Structure 1
Amino acid sequence: MTSSAASPSPRTPRAPVTVIGEAVADAFVGATAPDGSTPLTVHPGGGPANTAVALARLGTPVRFAGRLSKGPLGTLLRERLAGSGVDLTRSVTSDRPATLALARIDEDGGASYDFYAEGTADWQWTADELTTALTAAPPSVCVHTGSLALALPPGCTAIEAALEHARRTATVCVDPNVRPTVVDVALVRSRLPHWCALADIVRVSADDVEFLMPGTGPDEAADRLLAAGAGLAVVTLGGDGALARTRDLDVRVRAPAVDVVDTIGAGDAFTAGLLHRLAADGVLGGRLEGLTASALRDATGFAVAVAARTCAVAGAQPPYAAEMERPG
């Protein structure tokens, strides 16, 4: 079934979502000056951190379980998260440096990245740290993770084990967000079936599908994610919208027309919009029992609208709830 993006309503979830993963300093490369120097403009980023910010701005109570550096980049990341309303009490302060990504924007608004990630704070999770992060009260209805933190050692193993524990009481959401300049794609491909078995929701982009399942269309990709164990498979298609599928439901939504400034953080904002709406509908907290076609269509349409708003501004700046209540 195909529909246009759903019109938002002011529903607000009450129970928290926990996001585990990296917060990255994105340094955008400017034009080379006459003296040969290249200016850098640094903005807070990182896929999981972006999702946490978007959830908080939409009104979902959200805890970010990250490992944040004590240094100036860590301060930048911490201030952006806290300033958006993200609970950082379950994050860890680390003596290690923050992860840095050098980003370039192409003529279509897409970003490419070179990561400086070896030995940085984000990947050093221990089992004890994650146990502390996931045992806060009130309990979270959803645990979301993915991107580099779920793929880079040594912390990735601890995160996988934490998801095994979290799924006893919470919905688990995974976004692989493949970064081939940092992570061996073959490794992510090999771990994907296990992540699907752990997750209730798996969100992949069209780029992820091309990396992980070369030559596979979005429908077949969704079916393969479901066959591997995911309860809900979502494939985002950029300007073409998104499809969301369970074993019983199939929803497709079109993307609203928007003047794209850049696409940074759009996928992360989509995931936040989806989880926000599912939480507001009371669907999260287990294996998506009670998810209806109407609720899935509504959540997917809202997610597409949140992503579109993010594309209409520079950088990973997802909208606030009040902005989503206004037309356009």
Structure 2
Amino acid sequence: MDLLPTAHGADVLRAAPGGGPANTAVAAARLGTPTRLLARIGADGFGALIRERLLGEGLDPSGLLAAEEPTALALATLGPDGSARYDFRMDDAADWRWRPGELPEELEPGVRAVHAASIALFREPGATMIEALLRREHGRGQVTLTLDPNIRRDVIGDPENARALALRHAAQAHLVKASDEDLAFLYPDLSPVRAAHAVAALGPALVVVTMGGDGALAVSHGREVSVAAPRAEVADTVGAGDSFMGALLNWLDRRDLLGERPRARLAGLDEAALADLLGFAASVAAVTVTREGADPPTMDELADRGEEPGELVG
């Protein structure tokens, strides 16, 4: 649960259901992609708010597990430019305390992609179980595996262990979306472009890097494409990267580029398609930052703003 400042001042906070994977699921669902979120929902009022919000967005509720533990809290502080910094309260929280048997041993028929992200990748006891699930599905090769490490340095434990774990996850993924800050953690001596190529060399068919106001870039099979960030009046940056990720998934979903033989599907993206993919995701994130909290747009809202859902190329 995000706790955000309000116009009333720092002494008044607004509870906003959030969390990286949940934000991404909502973003994809609002754009029209059928979405199921695997999540442990806390046994408190915050958990009830999160469940209500997710169900209201039309997500498949079958992956929402009623946990016994409380909900993790993220207290957000906004900078003058709207950028968000977080102070986490997560001891004994429900979010990453997965138990044996809670994650599915088989994916349901029709699942074409599995997205994994953020703190749950690094916090035990759930991190080991999530890694095992992703390794299993990578071996089966029937779904596209996507990753957003969304590294929070103050809560991921030992930096070297976290770096090694993030790179193992990247090697299993078919698509990696990372921020320039994530890459600075993984490869402190490399530029974002060189770091993206280093991640791609681990195995992903597509690596996408978000760079805030400097736009985004994609690296795929030696191809390199970048787009500028759309102009936007920033309210805050909460959920911007998550909505970008949701838009990537939606763009690929609408072109039947998710599912079995995932590497081969993504390998066919030429430079024009990569630019279209980045441009669409950037337009979704640009709308998100104009609104308080993680509040991504629908496809209709994009159309009302004159944004196109991406050309059918690639």
Q: TM-score, normalised by structure 2?
A: 0.90
The structure 1 residue matched to 2:2, chosen from 19, 26, 32, is 26
User: Any idea what SS the aligned residue of 2:277 has?
Assistant: helix
2:184 maps to 210
Is the Cα–Cα contact under 8 Å of residues 99 and 122 in structure 1 kept in the other structure? yes
For the aligned residue pairs, the C-alpha RMSD in angstroms reads: 1.8
In 1, Cα distance between equivalents of 2:12 and 2:163:
36
Q: Aligned with 1:128: secondary structure?
A: coil
**1:206-259 deviation line (CA, Å, top 9, x unaligned):** 111222222421111111101122221111111121111112432211111111
Tell me, yes or no, if the aligned pair for 1:127 and 1:162 is still in contact at 8 Å. Answer: no
**Structure 2 CA distance, aligned partners of 1:296 and 1:76?**
37
Q: Residue 256 of structure 1 contacts residue 308 of structure 1 at CA under 8 Å; is this kept in 2? A: yes
Q: Is structure 2 residue 239 aligned with structure 1 residue 265?
A: yes
SS at match of 1:101: strand
Write the letter of the residue equivalent to 1:305.
S
Out of 257, 263, 286, the position equivalent to 1:288 is 263
Counterpart residue number, 2:47:
74
In 2, the alpha carbon distance for the partners of 1:209 and 1:87 equals: 32
Larger CA deviation: 308-317 vs 206-215:
206-215
In the alignment, which residue of structure 2 is the partner of 1:120?
93
- Equivalenced residue count is 299
* 2:15 is the alignment partner of 1:38: no
Q: Distance in 1 between matches of 2:58 and 2:161?
A: 35
- Report if aligned partners of 1:173, 1:202 keep a CA contact under 8 Å in 2: yes
**Aligned with 1:89 (options 62, 69, 75):** 62
Matching residue of 2:251: 277
Partner of 2:117: 146
Residues 203, 271 of structure 1: 8 Å contact kept:
yes
Structure 2 distance, partners of 1:29, 1:261, is 12
User: 4+ residue stretches of structure 1 with deviation over 3 A?
Assistant: 29-33
**Counterpart residue type for residue 52 of structure 1:** A
Change (3 A) 1:308 1:32: closer
Q: 1:193 to 1:93 in 2, by over 3 A?
A: same
- In structure 2, give the amino acid aligned to 1:323: E
* Matched position secondary structure for 1:203: strand
Q: Does the residue aligned with 2:207 lie in a helix, a strand or coil?
A: strand
1:162 aligns with: 133
- Read off the aligned partner of 1:299 and give its amino acid letter: L
Deviation at 1:92, TM superposition (A): 0.8
Match of 1:303 in 2: 281
Q: Return 5+ residue gaps in structure 2 as ranges.
A: 308-314
In the other structure, the counterpart of 2:71 is: 98
Aligned-partner SS, 1:196: helix
Task: Please say which of residues 83-92 and 265-274 is displaced more in the overlay.
Answer: 83-92
Contact 1:266 1:316 in 2 (8 A): yes
Q: Indicate the residue corresponding to 2:296 in structure 1.
A: 318
Q: Does 1:48 align with 2:21?
A: yes
Q: Which amino acid aligns with 1:135?
A: L
Post-superposition offset of 1:182: 1.1
Task: Confirm or deny: 8 A CA contact 1:188 1:212 kept in the other structure.
Answer: no
